[in-house]
Structure 1
Amino acid sequence: MPVLTGRLRGNGTCDDAHLVTFASGDCLSAHCYRVPWAKARQTYFSRGKNKQSLDAIEKAAFLVTLDDTAQGYNKKDPVTSMDTYAKSLLHGKCYDRWFDKTFTFIVFKNGKMGLNAEHAWADAPIVAHLWEYVMSTDCFQLGYTEDGHCRGDTNPNIPCPMRLQWEIPEECQDVIEKSLSLACTLANDVDFHSFPFDAFGKGLIKRSRTSPDAFVQLALQLAHYKDKGKFCLTYEASMTRLFREGRTETVRSCTMESCNFVLTMVDPMQTVEKKLKLFKIAANKHQHLYRLAMTGAGIDRHLFCLYVVSKYLGVDSPFLKEVLSDPWRLSTSQTPQQQIELFDLERNPEYVSSGGGFGPVADDGYGVSYIIVGENLINFHVSSKFSSPETDSHRFGAHLRQAMVDIINLFGLHSNARK
Structure 2
Amino acid sequence: MEKGVTFSHQSELRKLPVPSLEDTCRRYLRSLEALQTPEEHARTTEIVNKFLAEEGPKLQADLVEYDKTHESYVEEFWEDSYLNGNESVVLNLNPFFILEDEPDKHRGSQLMRAANLTIASLSFIHDLRHEVLDPDLVRGVPLDMFQYKRLFGMARIPMVNGCRQEIDQLSRHIIVLRRGQFYWFDVLDEEHRPLLTERAMVATLKAIMRDADTLSADQVARGAVGVLSTEQRRTWYHLRSALEIDPQNHAFLRIIDSALFVLCLDDTVPQNASELTKNMLCGTYSIQDDVQVGTCLNRWYDKLQIIVCANGAAGVNFEHSSVDGHTVLRYVADIYTELILQFAKSINSSTKSLFQAKPSPDARGQDSKKPIKPRQEVVARTLPKKLEWVLSDEIVQGIRYAEMRLSDLTCQNESHVLHFNGYGKRFITRHGFSPDAFVQMAFQAAYYSLYGRLASTYEPAMTKAFTRGRTETIRTVQPHVLAFVRAWTSTKSSAHDRLNALRAACMGHAKISKECATGQGFDRHMYALLSLWQKHNADNPDAKTPEIFRDQGFKQLNHVVLSTSNCGNPALRIFGFGPVVQDGFGIGYIIQNDRLTVCASSKHLQTKRFLATLEKYLYMVQNDIISVFRAANEFAKSTYVDHAGNECDARTGLPIGIPHMTKAADASQAGTSGYSFYGDGNESYTHVLSSMSLKNVGKLLYVNDYE
* TM-score, normalized by the shorter chain, greater than 0.5: yes
| Alignment of 1:136 onto 2:337 | yes
Task: Give the match for residue 277 of structure 2.
Answer: 86
| Alignment of 1:401 onto 2:615 | yes
**Please, which moves more after superposition, 355-364 or 306-315?**
306-315
**Please, which moves more after superposition, 205-214 or 404-413?**
404-413
Distance in 2, Cα, partners of 1:233 & 1:99: 28
- Residue type matched to 1:393 in 2? T
Distance in 2, Cα, partners of 1:144 & 1:108: 26
Alpha carbons of structure 1 residues 417 and 305: separation in structure 2 relative to 1, 3 Å? farther
Asked if the contact 1:219/1:407 (under 8 Å) is kept, the reply is no
| Alignment of 1:376 onto 2:470 | no
Task: Give the match for residue 155 of structure 1.
Answer: 363
Task: Please give the per-residue CA displacement for 1:42-68, whole angstroms capped at 9, x wherever unaligned.
Answer: 223255111111111111110011101
Matching of residues 34-183 of structure 1 within 5 Å: 34-71=233-270, 81-92=272-283, 93-101=295-303, 103-141=304-342, 155-156=363-364, 157=378, 159-183=382-406
**Please, which moves more after superposition, 225-234 or 151-160?**
151-160
State the 1:324 CA deviation: 4.6
Alpha carbons of structure 1 residues 11 and 273: separation in structure 2 relative to 1, 3 Å? closer
Distance in 2, Cα, partners of 1:10 & 1:265: 45
Q: Which of 328, 337, 340 lines up with 2:560 in the alignment? A: 328
**Please, which moves more after superposition, 81-90 or 404-413?**
404-413
Asked if the contact 1:2/1:124 (under 8 Å) is kept, the reply is no
Matching of residues 6-405 of structure 1 within 5 Å: 6-8=100-102, 11-12=106-107, 33-71=232-270, 81-92=272-283, 93-101=295-303, 103-141=304-342, 155-156=363-364, 157=378, 159-314=382-537, 315=543, 316-322=545-551, 323-326=553-556, 327-338=559-570, 353-373=572-592, 375-386=593-604, 391-405=605-619
Distance in 1, Cα, partners of 2:400 & 2:344: 43
State the 1:94 CA deviation: 2.5
State the 1:142 CA deviation: 5.6
- Residue type matched to 1:325 in 2? K
Distance in 1, Cα, partners of 2:469 & 2:235: 35
Alpha carbons of structure 1 residues 269 and 311: separation in structure 2 relative to 1, 3 Å? same
DSSP 3-state at the match of 1:409: helix
Distance in 2, Cα, partners of 1:393 & 1:220: 13
State the 1:128 CA deviation: 1.8
Task: Please give the per-residue CA displacement for 1:365-387, whole angstroms capped at 9, x wherever unaligned.
Answer: 111111112x211111111112x
Task: Please give the per-residue CA displacement for 1:249-307, whole angstroms capped at 9, x wherever unaligned.
Answer: 10100111111111111111122222222112111110111011001010111111012
Task: Please give the per-residue CA displacement for 1:62-96, whole angstroms capped at 9, x wherever unaligned.
Answer: 0011101113xx6xxxxxx0000000011113221
Alpha carbons of structure 1 residues 63 and 176: separation in structure 2 relative to 1, 3 Å? same
Asked if the contact 1:13/1:143 (under 8 Å) is kept, the reply is no
- Residue type matched to 2:279 in 1? S
Task: Give the match for residue 98 of structure 2.
Answer: 4
**Please, which moves more after superposition, 319-328 or 50-59?**
319-328
DSSP 3-state at the match of 2:385: coil
| Alignment of 1:416 onto 2:634 | no
Asked if the contact 2:417/2:599 (under 8 Å) is kept, the reply is yes
- Residue type matched to 2:299 in 1? R
DSSP 3-state at the match of 1:94: helix
DSSP 3-state at the match of 2:591: strand
- Residue type matched to 1:107 in 2? V
Distance in 2, Cα, partners of 1:14 & 1:416: 34
Asked if the contact 1:224/1:396 (under 8 Å) is kept, the reply is yes
Distance in 2, Cα, partners of 1:334 & 1:198: 17
State the 1:174 CA deviation: 0.8
- Residue type matched to 2:484 in 1? F
Asked if the contact 1:3/1:124 (under 8 Å) is kept, the reply is no
Distance in 1, Cα, partners of 2:612 & 2:519: 35
Distance in 1, Cα, partners of 2:391 & 2:591: 47
DSSP 3-state at the match of 1:118: coil
Task: Please give the per-residue CA displacement for 1:223-247, whole angstroms capped at 9, x wherever unaligned.
Answer: 0111222110110111112112211
Distance in 1, Cα, partners of 2:315 & 2:476: 30
Asked if the contact 2:472/2:524 (under 8 Å) is kept, the reply is yes
TM-score of the two chains, using structure 2 as the length reference: 0.50
- Residue type matched to 1:88 in 2? N
Task: Please give the per-residue CA displacement for 1:289-347, whole angstroms capped at 9, x wherever unaligned.
Answer: 10110010101111110121011011522311335533100111000315xxxxxxxxx
Task: Please give the per-residue CA displacement for 1:108-133, whole angstroms capped at 9, x wherever unaligned.
Answer: 12222221111112111221221122
Alpha carbons of structure 1 residues 48 and 14: separation in structure 2 relative to 1, 3 Å? closer
Distance in 2, Cα, partners of 1:191 & 1:260: 32
Distance in 2, Cα, partners of 1:281 & 1:11: 50
Asked if the contact 1:237/1:251 (under 8 Å) is kept, the reply is yes
State the 1:6 CA deviation: 3.9
Asked if the contact 2:246/2:390 (under 8 Å) is kept, the reply is no
Superposed CA RMSD: 2.7
Asked if the contact 1:10/1:110 (under 8 Å) is kept, the reply is no
Distance in 2, Cα, partners of 1:137 & 1:330: 35
Distance in 2, Cα, partners of 1:265 & 1:6: 35
Q: Would you say how many aligned residue pairs link Structure 1 and Structure 2?
A: 377
Distance in 1, Cα, partners of 2:533 & 2:296: 37
Distance in 2, Cα, partners of 1:207 & 1:309: 46
Alpha carbons of structure 1 residues 382 and 410: separation in structure 2 relative to 1, 3 Å? same
Alpha carbons of structure 1 residues 417 and 235: separation in structure 2 relative to 1, 3 Å? farther
Asked if the contact 1:125/1:336 (under 8 Å) is kept, the reply is no
Distance in 1, Cα, partners of 2:430 & 2:523: 33
- Using the aligned pairs only, state the percent identity: 27
Alpha carbons of structure 1 residues 143 and 276: separation in structure 2 relative to 1, 3 Å? closer
State the 1:37 CA deviation: 2.6
Distance in 2, Cα, partners of 1:230 & 1:177: 42
Task: Give the match for residue 191 of structure 2.
Answer: none
Listed as ranges, the gaps of 5+ residues in structure 1 are 20-24, 75-80, 339-351
Alpha carbons of structure 1 residues 66 and 394: separation in structure 2 relative to 1, 3 Å? same
- Residue type matched to 1:87 in 2? K
TM-score of the two chains, using structure 1 as the length reference: 0.83
Asked if the contact 1:196/1:354 (under 8 Å) is kept, the reply is no
Asked if the contact 1:220/1:403 (under 8 Å) is kept, the reply is no
Task: Give the match for residue 5 of structure 2.
Answer: none
**Please, which moves more after superposition, 108-117 or 42-51?**
42-51
Alpha carbons of structure 1 residues 135 and 91: separation in structure 2 relative to 1, 3 Å? same
Alpha carbons of structure 1 residues 417 and 49: separation in structure 2 relative to 1, 3 Å? farther
